[in-house]
Structure 1
Amino acid sequence: MIMQINTATLSEFNKGYEMAFKVVFDDFYKPLLYFVTKLVSDRQEAEDITLETFQKLFARHQDFTSGATIRSFLFTTARNHCLNVIKATRIHQHHLRNQPQSEIDTAEAEAAERQLEAQLISYLHNAIEKLPSRCREVFRLLFIEQLKPVDVAQRLNINVDNVYSQKKRAVELLRTAVNEHPEVMVLAGYLFSVFLSEIYYVLLHNMD
């Protein structure tokens, strides 16, 4: 179940309580790892970056004032780490193969595109986190874990009609959120990862 960082949990997190750390870790680990794996191709490296990001978060546990600031720190820190890894890899490859400047320029353009994709994915995760609890659970299970509606119904102990109803509500709310930021839709037109294309297809088309 997707948990929310409530006031009590946040207070305990700020004080450095281990159980509060576990709540935050359990809440954000899977979406953050998914986010990182879209930027770096190596699964082990993605896991290492994700864990290191949490270590940085926990080291600054007293600095956060809400679940939103925790989420923002995690995704921003992970994104920057990924981009540094991509840049370092490109530089290393250049030294090994003595790449011409044109290839370096292409690599930098690819890194810039990945940064845009990172921003877009981060925006999507933020928008999804703001959905009502049941909508968020249904949406995550359908589009992130890619379960079938009948499996979602069994997982949440609700009927299939309720799954479709919550899905429709989530789509409407996300579409409204995206319409308030047209620049997001412009970015989406250039980025075609499986995650983004599926989510944006849902936002652009009224799927029942």
Structure 2
Amino acid sequence: MSARNDIAFIEGFRNGDEIAIRELYDTHYRPLCYFNQKIVRHMQEAEDISTEIFLKLLRKKNDFDSLQEIKSFLFTASKNACIDFLRKEKQQQKSSNNQISFIADFDENLIEQELLTAKVLQAIYAEIESLPKQCKQVFKAIFIEGKSTAAIAEEMGLSPQTVLNQKAKALQIIRSAVSQKDVFVSLLFIELMLSAFFKNESGL
């Protein structure tokens, strides 16, 4: 996003523009869930924290002057919320004298490592949001919603071959974009495409 577009985007966000808010959510929610789940080890709690952070962002929307400030807030607030959750769980463990195996002293180095991965995920999701409209619809339907080629073709009024062509086009565009960033981003993208992180149909 160019500086000019960044300013227009922030203005729209601060004015409550639904498209800007949806773009922020689509770009950041899953990376935040990934990051939070790696720390608290509970997907439901990770999703709850991510949702609460977005609500806080909306309540504070007039406090941000740039997209970078928003990104920083989302990840910093998530990190703090996760640490607060772990502290409360540890306190409850001490109070009840029960052993909760998943609770351990949080490792700042591990948190920073997962934060880096989450930011890379955010960059990948930003590339997804930048795809041409039809490519984006097909990509999300296949890799995020886990729909079959036949189901997407029927829903979108396309032939199965057109869906496959749009899928291949989307993958090519994203691979090209992330390959220009750095090796780590490229490797992570490939790993995600081969893993269950996206609810993918059989085969790429």
Alignment of 1:44-55 (within 5 A): 44-55=48-59
- 1:171 and 1:195 mapped to 2: Cα distance? 9
Shift of 1:95: 5.7
- 2:69 and 2:159 mapped to 1: Cα distance? 37
Give the SS at the match of 1:158.
Answer: coil
- 2:70 and 2:135 mapped to 1: Cα distance? 23
- 2:193 and 2:84 mapped to 1: Cα distance? 26
**Which residue pairs with 1:13 in the alignment?**
12
Shift of 1:91: 4.2
Shift of 1:169: 0.8
Give the SS at the match of 1:131.
Answer: coil
Percent identical across equivalent pairs?
Answer: 18
Residue 135 of structure 2 corresponds to residue 135 of structure 1: yes
Shift of 1:46: 2.3
Residue 107 of structure 2 corresponds to residue 107 of structure 1: yes
Residue 62 of structure 2 corresponds to residue 59 of structure 1: yes
Residue 22 of structure 2 corresponds to residue 26 of structure 1: yes
Shift of 1:107: 3.0
Give TM-score, length-normalised by structure 2.
0.68
Q: Is the 8 A contact 1:75 1:122 kept in 2?
A: no
Alignment of 1:113-152 (within 5 A): 113-152=113-152
Alignment of 1:37-48 (within 5 A): 37-40=33-36, 41=43, 42=45, 43-48=47-52
Change in CA separation of 1:107 and 1:81 when aligned onto 2, cut-off 3 Å: same
Give the SS at the match of 2:131.
Answer: coil
- 2:50 and 2:194 mapped to 1: Cα distance? 19
**Runs of 5+ unmatched residues, structure 2:** 37-42, 95-103
**Which residue pairs with 1:178 in the alignment?**
178
**Runs of 5+ unmatched residues, structure 1:** 1-5
- 1:23 and 1:175 mapped to 2: Cα distance? 26
Give the SS at the match of 1:177.
Answer: helix
The alignment of Structure 1 onto Structure 2 pairs a total of residues equal to 178
Change in CA separation of 1:78 and 1:179 when aligned onto 2, cut-off 3 Å: same
